[in-house]
Amino acid sequence: MPSPYRALFAAPGSKGFSAAGFLGRMPLSMMGIGVVTMVSQLTGRYGLAGALSATIALAAAVVGPQVSRLVDQYGQRRVLRPATLVSLASAAGLLLAAHFRWPDWTLFVFSAGIGCVPSLGAMIRARWAALYRDTPQLHTAYSFESVVDEVCFIFGPIISIGLSTAWFPEAGPLLAACFLAAGVFWLTAQRATEPEPHPREKHEGRGGSALRSAGLQVLVATFVATGAIFGAVDVVTVAFAEEQGHKGAASVVLALYAAGSCAAGAVFGLLRLKGAPEPRWLLGICAMAVSMIPLLLVGNLPFLAVALFLAGLCIAPTMITTMSLIEQHVPRAQLTEGMTWISTGLAVGVALGSSVAGWVIDAAGARAGYGVPAVSGAVAVAVGFLGYRRLSRPAPGRGGSVEQHSEREERHVA
């Protein structure tokens, strides 16, 4: 591991909460695609499979920010454990309903309950922020966590799809639930690195949602379209691999998509970037959109694998820059909620993308489904350009980005 990353773990407790966060985030890449694989195997209905995956994502989008707001006020341990128990109970219900072929409406009810799953990525990033706020190390920490996210997306689909196709259909979502339980309870047992809650913020007149920030609104709106890219790519790739007669290969292809992002994030974290982050963010959104165009020409799995690997190179740098921008537009007392709103935007997009892609696949086939991420990328670019001026004006009283703090320190030393 390069020395900037090794230096992160000099802080006591950092190894423990990072490891717990990795384990608890595995369901992020396993549950949705596991449900798609499970339901498509049991029923052959990709439309239903995509709709259930969308329901999980939409429920998480609605509940996730509320859970994180409570975390900011009362602490991670007091909030995450009961929220996780609700999600786990719902996951058990979904597996039973799918296995015993209960009515479709029961599948949707249990899928909605799974949405109570906490945003573990936001919780871990909040712990890093508490350790390294206003230092260049925070940029490296955010980069490291983006790499961890992508490692989850490399191995999660492989494990989930592989178990569900080779063992039994419910195996992938079942293991995802086990990972969630272990990760959350391990993380919340680590009290020393838990960020200090801010229970009095609401009573001091600074309450309300972090989404009141105009800059955060732009980020979230853009990432709704970006999430649609991810959701559509997942569902369409599974269907395309099945059309090619190699459904199990979908996990490998999706892993390469994440591998591209992982590699780019690891390199990005080693850079000491200068200048405002907003232009880099907009460039990243544009690059993600352009990278979807080759998918319209896909004809076989090897070509698809190469195209998705190259497309993945755009993801992590854009996400890392987004986390830096959040610090400009969200009060410190609402940092966890602000980060979760980005996850919410992505979740809403994943829900829309996976659902629309499922219906397109049922109506016109998998190749036509790749039009969904292409259109989603174009929408993301349009929203990014329309909201750029609002994003370029940090709200008063907010902390600057990691990169800006770094520049100020360098000028002071000079």
Could you tell me what percentage of the chain is helix, strand and coil, using 3-state DSSP and rounding each to the nearest 5?
80, 0, 20
From CA 308, how far away is CA 294, in angstroms rounded? 9
Span 15-189+211-413 CATH architecture: Up-down Bundle (1.20)
Domain ranges in the chain?
A: 15-189+211-413
- Quick one: CA dihedral 375, 376, 378, 383, positive or negative? positive
Range with the poorest average pLDDT among 148-152, 207-211, 226-230, 305-309: 207-211
Q: Which two tokens stand for residue 322?
A: 């987004």
- Judge contact between 390 and 215, C-beta under 8 A: yes
pLDDT at 267: 84
In whole angstroms, how far apart are CA 204 and each of 21, 198, 207, 332, 333?
32, 11, 7, 14, 12
* pLDDT band at residue 200 under the 50/70/90 scheme: low
Over the stretch 232-259, which tens digit does the pLDDT of each residue have?
Answer: 898 888 888 888 888 778 878 888 888 8
* pLDDT band at residue 211 under the 50/70/90 scheme: low
pLDDT at 344: 78
**Res. 413: pLDDT tops 70:** no
Average pLDDT over residues 4-14: 83
Q: Residue written as tokens 């020409």? A: 297
Cα angle: 198, vertex 201, 205; to 5 degrees: 175
Read off the pTM: 0.72
From CA 224, how far away is CA 387, in angstroms rounded? 14
Q: What is the mean pLDDT of the chain?
A: 81
Please count the residues of the chain. 414
* pLDDT band at residue 406 under the 50/70/90 scheme: very low
Residues with Cβ < 8 Å from 202, sequence gap 6 or more? Answer: 73
Over the stretch 79-93, which tens digit does the pLDDT of each residue have?
Answer: 999 999 999 999 999
pLDDT at 393: 62
DSSP 210: G
**pLDDT > 70 in the chain, percent:** 90
Selected residue with higher pLDDT from 208 and 168: 168
**Res. 203: pLDDT tops 80:** no
pLDDT at 129: 83
Residues with Cβ < 8 Å from 167, sequence gap 6 or more? Answer: none
* pLDDT band at residue 405 under the 50/70/90 scheme: very low
Selected residue with higher pLDDT from 381 and 200: 381
Q: Residue written as tokens 């998480």? A: 60
pLDDT at 201: 47
DSSP per-residue codes, 81-97: HHHHHHHHHHHHHHHHH
pLDDT at 218: 87
Range with the poorest average pLDDT among 38-47, 155-164, 182-191, 390-399: 390-399
Residues with Cβ < 8 Å from 364, sequence gap 6 or more? Answer: none
Average pLDDT over residues 128-147: 81
